[in-house]
Amino acid sequence: MKIVAVIQARLGSTRFPGKVFADLSGKPLIWHVIERIKFSKFINEIVLATTTNPIDNELAEWAQKNDIKCFRGSENNVLERFYFAAKKYDATVVVRITADDPFKDPKIIDSVITMLVNNNLQFAYNNNPPTFPEGLDTEVFLFSSLERAYKESNDDFEKEHVTQYFYRHPELFKQENIFNHTNLSYLRWTIDTEMDYKMVKKIYSELYLDGKIFYFQDIISFLNKHPEISKININVERSEMYKNLLK
């Protein structure tokens, strides 16, 4: 079994262009995302999946300079991009990672991978319904499931958001959700806007240490002592994926 983390990333964000290179404690956001995933006990390979749009040449060049595997594919059909990236690197299991989430937690990722394997699932996740903060979303699926979605889906929303075909067809894919013991889905730990970035920078300035990792519970403990920080981006609108998840 080969478990491959595929990170979808591009520079052409509408609300916060170039955010994957936004500075956090002296390193770009995308660097932190990759470094945090490396703490997973089960992921065998990490692939940055960006687009063939010339605007993303800079991202591909950065990956090459930093010895990070990179795949370039469709800008709008992210499902297709994932399929060919996973196929190229011979994935048996795929972990979907979004590049605008600076707090991805390898312990949570590993728990979702474990659930997929132990329960003989085709799709496992922690965000339907969401009980973790937005930005800790973890989705893990078999390559065979990804291949089926790629070949069968004809819906633009499903092609843009990769896993929507799975959610919309539970009769085709054996799937389960992991719940957090407390519903914290109202917390926003992703970067889509300058306000999100401001909040994340404050947490990194307090918790980040070079060569080490801070976890979900470390952030919660810090925010419990500094509740004003969570309020910085509380009014930012949720992503289309969340709003359309169960449609």
Query: Can you list the domains of the chain with their CATH numbers?
Result: 3-244 (3.90.550.10)
What pLDDT, on a 0 to 100 scale, did the predictor assign at position 40? 98
235 half-sphere exposure, CB direction, 13 A CA radius: 2
Query: What SS3 state is found at 177?
Result: strand
- 247 pLDDT above the threshold of 80: no
Please answer whether residues 104 and 30 qualify as being in contact, where contact means their C-beta atoms are separated by less than 8 angstroms: no
pLDDT in tens, 38-68: 999 999 999 999 999 999 999 999 999 999 9
Confidence of residue 234 (pLDDT cuts 50, 70, 90): confident
pTM for this prediction: 0.93
Cβ–Cβ under 8 Å, residues 21 and 30? yes
- List, for residues 150-173, the tens digit of each pLDDT value: 999 999 999 999 999 999 999 999
Helices (H), the chain: 29-37, 57-65, 78-88, 106-118, 143-152, 156-161, 164-168, 194-207, 216-225, 227-230, 240-244
Q: How many CB atoms lie within 10 A of CB 67?
A: 6
What are the residues whose beta carbons fall under 8 Å from the beta carbon of 44, sequence distance 6 or more?
A: 2, 3, 4
